[in-house]
Amino acid sequence: MRPEDIAELILSGFAKHYRLFQKITAQAPIAFANRNWDEIQRISRLRISQYDTRVDETISALAKAAQLNQLDTELWHQVREAYQQRLVFHPQAELAETFYNSVFCRLFHRRYFNNHFIFVEPTLKDAPALPVEAEYRSYFPVVDGLKPTIRKIISHFGFGSAFVDLEQDIRQLMKAFLKQAPDTHHQRFQMRFDILQAPFYRNKAAYIVGRVVSLSGVQPFIIAILHDGEAGLRIDALITQSSQMRVIFGFARAYFLVQTHAPSALVRFLNELMPNKTPAELYNAIGFHKQGKTEFYRELLGQFAHTDEQFMPAPGTRGMVMMVFTLPSFPYVFKVIRDKFAESKPFGKDTVIARYQLVKNHDRVGRMADTIEYSNVVFPLERFSPELLEELHSSISENLVIEDNLLIIKHLYIERRMTPLNLYLLNCNDSDAQTVISDYGQALKEMLAVNIFPGDMLLKNFGVTKHQRVIFYDYDEVQYLTDMRFRALPKVSADDYFTDSGEVSCAPQDVFPEQLCTFVLPDPKLKAMFLAAHPELATVEYWQQAQRDIQQKVLKHIYPYPQQQRFYLTREP
């Protein structure tokens, strides 16, 4: 089989993947218009799983067309060259490179995972970039006036439903913009709106993303749109602060459903609005998590190239299931499943992997960190101190291979590094402690609302971001809320102390919410802060009601922006 034919076959596999990916994504606007929230969740899960299916199909097609028992190095050099030539003007070139890498790495040994055979480095980094204009449309208030221009922007999207009162929403939008971005107060002939052509869908919301270009510079913004029951649509909020926009596109949220023809142009536009976001984070945010893996690995290689740091155990309490290490100046942690678990963890590696996959496919509701899963990751052996190497050998030897000057980990997860909540509380003042303890309780409530029971709720399993947001990151005991049995502690009389009747028998799925503070918050000051903010979390009734809400399909909307930003507070009667 000619190199060109193999290249065309792999590119055809990618084309099918991307076509189906966009076809699945195109169902989101219909589901949003019909308020079919279960369908939104199904679409999200389906997009995550279909990539590997397309890679497997492509490998099967290759196996039928060519002998692939061993690597013909000259042939595959030519295949890579032929494939690269076909990407020069390809609108999804970077995604096609990653697809090629996935196919090759499934076929051949990792000793060939270098830039001679796969696309470790982006081949088109020096080629003309796709213009960001391919993904947005510009509007000029000088032509039609400010309010008619905003009306035109909203009307362009359609959304499949009518607004309850679009004119009032536009008035509130303009008022909020004047309040939030006072430096952009210019005449209509001194500004331009650049609006991404496709709305961003997630959970029960749609978002319009764009920027105002004026004499003052560039002001990014996000407009949130929700259904007001059966009445119709309403603009719910305007977000202009960069920090709030980054939370909406954060690593602890489900991937957006957004259609795009040129993902690199879309990512560059978003990066201009949120310059602190990395390409890996933005590709993940718009649903291209495999490309996010590629971009992250390139970040890691860049880290190795520019520092001589050694890995170290990650700060925090040692986990009984995961061995965790990090690089001091790299904002991620590397998590590897231990060979053996403590007796208090009555499950195996397969259960841990399944639970991490559960979270990957679930609505993370801004409270569960996304994980990047890798196989056969190669590290320079010199980056590990003798002490850390000894710890790795004693805890993850079954997952570890050392060859010459390389250390290979067969399977690992990578997560954004945060300050463990228990360590944060040791070093903060009372005001900050009150803030994060309250947010810890809010994190529990928001996870319960999407049918997630975190299992081990100890503070060491939660992290604090630089915005003082509490995020859960330890998933080995995660289960569905509806699979648990929440019980009240039996009342013990004085006589029970002299009999065996005071003992409480429980099954593996039994949970006693009244014991939450006893085990999680033994510090009286922290316990008081928690109970002042969330007394209901210490009652069995609250947890049982959360279960009933899930069973009755009461889907709550978790707002990724502050409540005070919402227009309902200032809506005219």
The catalytic residues are 370
Helix-helix angle 3-25:37-65, to 10 degrees: 170
CA 396/CA 339 separation, integer angstroms: 5
Alpha carbons within 13 A on the beta-carbon side of 486: 22
Contact present, 196 and 209 (Cβ < 8 Å)? yes
Please give the torsion angle defined by the CA atoms of residues 486, 317, 329 and 253, in that order, rounded to the nearest 10 degrees: 0
Name the maximum alpha-carbon separation found in the chain: 87
Question: Which pair of tokens denotes residue 28?
Answer: 């989101």
Q: Where are the alpha helices (DSSP H) in 66-206?
A: 73-85, 93-107, 141-144, 146-157, 166-180
Query: Is residue 374 exposed (0-12), middle (13-18) or buried (19+ Cβ within 10 Å)?
Result: middle
- Look at the chain and count its residues: 573
CA 153/CA 565 separation, integer angstroms: 21
Q: Where are the alpha helices (DSSP H) in 161-262?
A: 166-180, 242-248
315 assigned to a ligand binding site? yes
318 assigned to a ligand binding site? yes
Cβ–Cβ contacts within 10 Å for residue 143, how many?
11
Three-state DSSP class for residue 87 = coil
465 assigned to a ligand binding site? no
Which pairing describes strands 191-196 and 312-313: parallel, antiparallel, or unpaired?
unpaired
Nearest Cα to Cα of residue 22 among 289, 208, 360, 261: 261
Cβ–Cβ contacts within 10 Å for residue 405, how many?
8
Residue whose pair of structure tokens reads 């929230």 in the numeric block: 37
CA 398/CA 467 separation, integer angstroms: 38
320 assigned to a ligand binding site? yes
Residue whose pair of structure tokens reads 């999804």 in the numeric block: 92
- Contacting residues for 24 by C-beta, under 8 A, at least 6 apart: 43, 46, 47, 50
Q: Read out DSSP for 264-306? A: HHHHHHHHHH-TTS-HHHHHHHTT-HHHHHHHHHHHHHHHHHH
Residues annotated within a binding site for ATP: 314-320, 335
Residues annotated within a binding site: 314-320, 335
